């Protein structure tokens, strides 16, 4: 497998997870010159619409439009993302090979069990990847930062926000790469009502987060560590 040193690795349970919840930030980081990669844990083969092959083509379309330099699939069984030893070994192998400084993972409060388990699997694997005696080939590597992107949940308070106002339209264009999931869906809405109006939900949610920090659109993240600054002027949001 390809070895490349990444600045940022975004991880999602399914093809499209990273784009929907953190796509604007990913595009922005690419635009800033960071080397960004995406790891999808499953091929999405259990989804009501599309197929593994169709979703692979859609993911490639999204990758090209985002400018992400690397994307791969761990090929865990869809609907069976489990937090276990075997899956840790597989994920640690990727972390040690790509050596990201920053890892993005889904927040653990999720409707979809695969998303919840992905959050915990990434957390455990990122930690154990730094243990020299853990039985996985490759140089020991532990990411410096583990950051969680949000689901559509208005009760989760982000630790920080990223202004994606200049990148929002590009994000929406990229989400439409997943035509089988979010565009051609009318005949299956009775089976998967969750996807009804996804594009509108993305716009409203990112707009809601943006209003919290006085910008048009934003994405929110949870860090679980105190934030440290060196200059008060770095705080962009004014009190009054």
The tens digit of pLDDT for each residue in 222-235 reads: 999 999 999 999 99
Task: Map out the domains of the chain with their CATH numbers.
Answer: 8-234 (3.40.50.10320)
Tokens of 142: 């532990």
Cα–Cα dist 56/45, whole Å: 10
Phi, psi of 74 (to 5 degrees): -80, -15
Please tell me the predicted confidence (pLDDT) of residue 198. 80
Q: Could you give the CA distance from residue 193 to residue 129 in angstroms, rounded to a whole number?
A: 38
DSSP run (H or E) holding 71:
strand 70-76
Whether the pLDDT of residue 185 is over 60: the answer is no
pLDDT greater than 50 at residue 190: no
pLDDT tens digits, one per residue of 82-119:
999 999 999 999 999 999 999 999 999 998 999 999 99
Residue 74 tokens, joined: 């761990």
Q: What was the pLDDT predicted at 3?
A: 75
Q: What are the phi and psi torsion angles at 161 (to 5°)?
A: -125, 155
Mean pLDDT in residue range 49-66: 88
Tell me the helices (H) and strands (E) count for the chain, helix number first: 7, 7
Percent of the chain with pLDDT over 90: 80
The Cα 99–Cα 79 span in angstroms is 27
**Tally of residues, the chain:** 240
């Amino acid at each position: 497998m390809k070895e490349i040193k990444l600045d940022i690795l975004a991880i999602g349970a399914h093809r499209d997870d990273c784009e929907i919840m953190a796509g604007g930030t990913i595009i922005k980081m690419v635009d800033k010159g960071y080397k960004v990669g995406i790891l999808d844990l499953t091929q999405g083969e259990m989804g009501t619409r599309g197929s593994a092959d169709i979703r692979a083509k859609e993911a490639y379309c999204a990758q090209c439009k985002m400018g992400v330099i690397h994307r791969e699939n761990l090929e865990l069984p869809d609907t069976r993302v489990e937090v276990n030893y075997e899956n840790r070994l597989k994920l640690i192998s990727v972390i040690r090979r790509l050596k990201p400084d920053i890892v993005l993972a889904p927040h653990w409060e999720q409707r979809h069990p695969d998303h919840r388990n992905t959050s915990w699997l990434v957390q455990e694997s990122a930690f154990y990847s730094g243990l020299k005696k853990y039985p996985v080939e490759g140089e020991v590597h532990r990411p410096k930062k583990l950051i969680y992107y949000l689901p559509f949940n208005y009760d989760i308070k982000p630790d920080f926000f990223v202004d994606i106002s200049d990148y929002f339209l590009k994000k929406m264009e990229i989400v439409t790469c997943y035509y089988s999931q979010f565009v051609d869906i009318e005949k299956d809405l009775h089976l998967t009502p969750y996807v009804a109006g996804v594009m509108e939900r993305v716009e409203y949610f990112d707009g809601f987060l943006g209003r919290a920090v006085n910008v048009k659109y934003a994405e929110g993240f949870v860090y679980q560590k105190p934030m440290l600054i060196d200059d008060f002027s770095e705080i962009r949001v004014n009190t009054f």
